[in-house]
Amino acid sequence: MEIIHIRDEYIKLGQAMKLAGMVGSGVDAKIVIQDGLVKVNGVTQMQRGKKIKSGDIITYNGESVQIG
C-alpha cells in the first residue's frame, strides 16, 4: 500500500485522491465520491470535503493509499 505524506494536519478527500493519482482531476474525484465508489477506513464516503488525517486509508477502484 502506498503512503502519501501531507504537511498539514489534514487534507480534503478529493485533494488526497488527486495527490495519490487515483483520479485525474477534482471533477473526477467529485463524480466517483458522489457515486459512492470511495471508502475511507472501510466506510463509503460521500463528502468530497471530508477531512482526511494521518493514518486514514482511502480505497477506490481496488487501490488503497494511506495518509502519512
Rounded to an integer, the average pLDDT of 31-59 is 97
Which domains does the chain show, CATH number per domain? 2-67 (3.10.290.10)
Greater confidence, 1 or 22? 22
Looking at the predicted structure, is the pLDDT value of residue 39 above 90? yes
Mean per-residue pLDDT, 13-39? 96
Cα–Cα distances (Å) from 62 to 8, 34, 38, 39, 65, in that order, read 27, 17, 10, 10, 10
d(CA 64, CA 4): 11
Rounded to an integer, the average pLDDT of 11-24 is: 96
Mean pLDDT calculated for residue range 26-51: 96
Q: Which three cell numbers stand for residue 17?
A: 485522491
